[in-house]
Amino acid sequence: MLTLCILWWALGGSETVLASTMSIGSFLLTQMVLNQQRRRELALQIKIDELILAKSGARDELAGIERKTEDEIEQLRAGRDIDD
């Protein structure tokens, strides 16, 4: 991408077009990185949930905790059942 921008600039292309191209490229690269991070985070969370559910004595309600409200998470941290 950088090579294309330099080539465009060297051939007398508009700086506005160059700046727009670089902005769009930066946006696309950022979205690609964020998407990859989300996939990794989801995969890791699934693995952690599986370990929690497989371990005897573990609190099963902790699996999927990322979907709970802040109040529910605080109750779990305090060791209380959510239904209390």
- With 70 as the cut, is the pLDDT of residue 24 above it? yes
Amino acid 80 reads R
Please provide the DSSP assignment of 39-64 as one string: HHHHHHHHHHHHHHHHSTTS-GGGTT
What is the pTM (predicted TM-score) of this model?
Answer: 0.51
φ, ψ (nearest 5 deg) of residue 20? -65, -40
Task: Decide which of 29 and 49 is more confident.
Answer: 29
Contact status, residue 26 vs residue 16, Cβ threshold 8 Å: no
Average confidence score pLDDT of the chain: 82
